[in-house]
Amino acid sequence: FCNFHTLQSNPVGLIGPFGAVLAHGPGHTCLLRPDAGGCQNYTISWFFDTDQGRCSRFWYGGCGGNGNRFNTLTECQSLCVTKAQCLLHADTGIQCEDYVQLWFFDKVIGACSPFWYGGCGGNANRFNTENECVRTLMSTAITSLHPDSCFLSQDQGGCQNYTMMWFFDTEQRECSRFWYGGCGGNGNRRLRITTLRVFRDI
């Protein structure tokens, strides 16, 4: 938890939690829609499908197009899977079932946050639990480059969908409870004190 960081631009690219390089510039190629380009010399290529969160095949015409095009599945997966997933906005999808609370990586605050999902559609920045979100993001880690979010002040965020959460209180040097409003805020919050303690000690 204390190794979550807000996204920052640098010459290498967009730096996310745990120092992961999430994108090479703000218009990350993995987030582009597939483009068959011009010409009619069709070959099978691969693109990252932001709706499905995986690489898929498409027909490329041989000229033009954009950067979300790869010769092999492996090449697409190594650059895009997980990394691009974390840059997508929260998408509630379409209500086809009862709304359920899931988790997404909020690139604005650099942490996993809850949101309501309608059951159909949406995008790949969607996790069943906070732990799944954190584990997925940790797999993109390179090295920690920025100050820990443990040192951020407690922030209840906006909205009025209050949930009891935990934050690290730097003055008391201990984990304390607070009411989180359900949106916004910062990375100094956890649903369970055990998760907070584990990440605090990293």
Query: What pLDDT, on a 0 to 100 scale, did the predictor assign at position 148?
Result: 60
Q: Is residue 189 part of a domain?
A: yes
**Per-residue b or e along 165-174, where b marks 16 or more CB atoms closer than 10 Å to that residue's CB:** bbbbbeeeee
Q: Which domain holds residue 108?
A: 88-200
Let me know whether 93 and 72 are in one domain. Answer: no
CA gap 30, 66 in Å, rounded: 10
Q: Is residue 1 part of a domain?
A: no
Helix (H, G, I), strand (E, B) or coil at 200: helix
Integer Rg of the chain from CA: 19
- Cα distances from 192 to residues 128, 187, 195, in angstroms, run 16, 14, 6
In CATH, what number is assigned to the domain containing residue 69? 4.10.410.10
- For the chain, strand residue ranges (E) read 8-9, 14-15, 21-23, 43-49, 54-60, 94-106, 111-120, 163-169, 174-180
Model confidence pLDDT, tens digit, residues 14-66: 333 333 333 333 347 888 889 999 899 999 999 988 777 788 999 999 999 99
Over residues 110-129, the mean pLDDT reads 89
State the pLDDT at residue 83: 67
Position 182 in a domain: yes
Computed over every residue of the chain, the mean pLDDT equals: 74
CA angle 105, 106, 110 (to 5 degrees): 95
- What is the pTM (predicted TM-score) of this model? 0.45
Instruction: State whether the Cα torsion 170-171-174-179 is positive or negative.
Output: negative
* Residue at 175 is within a domain: yes
Residue 68 domain-assigned (yes or no): yes
67 lies in some domain: yes
Question: CA angle at residue 74 from 73 to 76, to 5 degrees?
Answer: 65
pLDDT at 147: 43
Q: How wide is the angle at C-alpha 72 spanned by C-alphas 67 and 74, nearest 5°? A: 100
How does pLDDT run across 171-199, given as a tens digit for each residue? 877 788 888 887 778 777 776 665 455 44
Distance CA 82, CA 72 (A): 17
Domain count, the chain: 2
Rounded CA separation 123/23 (Å)? 18
Which tens digit of pLDDT belongs to each residue from 125-140? 899 998 888 877 655 5
Q: How many C-beta atoms surround the C-beta of residue 182 within 10 A? A: 19
